[in-house]
Chains A and B, each alone.
Chain A
């Protein structure tokens, strides 16, 4: 039995898990806020992308330059109008619980709003390349998955460089390490938070667009990916960008390769098992900093 098809397909879906988790890990790493609305925001961005795609009919990947900024602004506004006031009221708490509840309820609102406006039907953006498949030997990989893998890798790399090399990236990291000290050094922590949330949301829009040509759009699509994203983030290390990508690929591989040896419905048990082992051996996750906890 050849495992190559499973490995290749596992990596391709795993990279997308990683991309979804990246926004979550960024927001947590910098704001110490667990964003329960991550799945709903993914769904929301997929719906916007689907809407624009139906009207214009352009290649979904080109839409990144339109939907990315829209979602950045959306995330920025959500942070300023909703999260910031609550965060301020709890500024003396390290991990503010009410923000967590706020994001969870925001997710419920978004999902039901989508159900009201969009209805309960499943839709898919069937593009010209949706049915195309590349094959090498017995390894088949559909075009949208291959492009998705490439885009996920490129975006992760760009984002990593952005965090390491640019001034805003440095400010983001500094705020993440110690928001008070960062503020003393003249960094506007509030603005940095809003940027972080906006960036986290914009990253999601990329994940959404990558999914669009081969995955369905539905008000519950966020829930499907949400649990995966949480496991990926904790496996890779909370707040670590490379950790999210590697964690995602690991989950994708376990899921796909594991299914070749056991019933697919049991692979989720395997995922949690690996997850538990990692937590036992290295509680901070694969790439997390051990000093954080």
Chain B
């Protein structure tokens, strides 16, 4: 027993010391930026791609001479693991600020973590740049130090409804009823609130709102319930594990609505196609970026990323990548690492040139710290030369040339690509 105790204590001490060991201060030629990402846990794959995108951007910025107004200071990233958990996110943010003494924090994947951890940074007066989480509330709390590059969840839902309205009119499809399947945490509930506003506004009816818990074992119960409700549109809000289980179960159970539409997140995860195979054919998804989207720099940045890491970027990676350029620009104009100076520079951002245009041609923030006019596109999962791909189909000016959306849903293996 004593031996076990001794070994345990030694382990504890090693952990404590190693935790202290990597704290680093801002020195003259280095600007330390704290990063909070889910590097383990269920969203670890998303955390990883976010980290890779940031590293690539920072590498480019440093290679191009760093922050010139601060004597060519290089950006150094410190990563903290939120495990996708709000409580852990708070602890890690606290650690970044008090132990690592960072002057600027960025990161987060889950909205819940962003909500909790931004409260910590606000209390300490440290600017927090949020590239990915989209919960409306993040920039609706009158926080002074929070800036967001992502669109609001409600904008995504607004455009989903707009898209369906548009396509129903174009194709003369009769659409009346919607079913919403959403994960029960902050993100899903935010989406539900917005959808309950936009769907009735467009003259449609919601026949089913179904919540499920993330980390649930089986989604067949939910799928059976949706099947029973026979909606025209099935709208799904899910992280990747549930997005995959849900998609497979919908096909297994022979559910056949007029439209399947996802809300980014898990549907935009690069591993999604491996998990569902052909089952996702003709599903729609909304996002802010696609590899085939018609935007400046988009192709080059993605090509470089794919060569470096072996797979394409996703919208979250593009936002994470662009975020580093927005931060670098703000630091350049601030000319110091003083939190208030950074904040002031960030608020005055008006970026119309540079690689971050792969995300948006113009980046500026409103008085709440929210990016104005975040761009949104709809893609459809189609077989391109036999390989399942995301094909941008809406809006027309950003769509892949030569591709028309298949609407209504024809069923797996019954569409134009299968003939």
Interface residues of A (CB under 8 A from B): 1, 5-6, 9-10, 13, 17, 86, 89-90, 98, 112, 115, 119-124, 126, 130-131, 133, 135, 140, 142, 214-216, 218-220, 223-225, 228, 252, 255-260, 263-265, 267-268
A124 touches B275 (CB 8 A): yes
| Contact (A5, B217) CB under 8 Å given A131-B278, A140-B252 | no
Asked if B40 lies at the interface with its beta carbon under 8 angstroms from chain A, I say yes
Interface positions of B from 262 to 279, Cβ below 8 Å from A: 269, 271, 274-279
User: In whole angstroms, how far apart are the Cα atoms of A268 and B216 in the complex?
Assistant: 9
Distance to closest chain A CB from B81 (angstroms) = 11
A120 touches B48 (CB 8 A): yes
Q: Number of contacts between A and B (CB, 8 Å)?
A: 119
User: In whole angstroms, how far apart are the Cα atoms of A209 and B41 in the complex?
Assistant: 23
Number of residues from B at the complex interface, CB < 8 A: 44
Of the residues A98, A216, A265, contact of B241 by C-beta under 8 Å: A216
Asked if B97 lies at the interface with its beta carbon under 8 angstroms from chain A, I say no
Binds A, one of B139-147, B151-159, B220-228, B350-358: B220-228
Q: What chain B residues lie within 8 Å of A6 (beta carbons)? A: 221, 224
Q: What chain B residues lie within 8 Å of A225 (beta carbons)? A: 217
Distance to closest chain B CB from A193 (angstroms) = 19
A264 touches B210 (CB 8 A): yes
A9 touches B220 (CB 8 A): yes
Q: What chain B residues lie within 8 Å of A256 (beta carbons)? A: 218, 220-221, 224
User: In whole angstroms, how far apart are the Cα atoms of A258 and B277 in the complex?
Assistant: 30
Interface residues of B (CB under 8 A from A): 1, 4, 39-42, 44-45, 47-48, 184, 210-213, 215-222, 224-225, 227-228, 240-241, 244-245, 248, 251-254, 269, 271, 274-279
Distance to closest chain B CB from A282 (angstroms) = 25
Distance to closest chain B CB from A264 (angstroms) = 4
B4 touches A98 (CB 8 A): yes
A260 touches B244 (CB 8 A): no
Most buried by B among A1, A98, A126, A135: A126
| Contact (A265, B212) CB under 8 Å given A9-B224, A124-B274, A259-B225 | yes
**Residue ID in chain A nearest B48 by CB atoms:** A120
**Residue ID in chain B nearest A6 by CB atoms:** B224
Q: What chain B residues lie within 8 Å of A265 (beta carbons)? A: 184, 211-213, 216
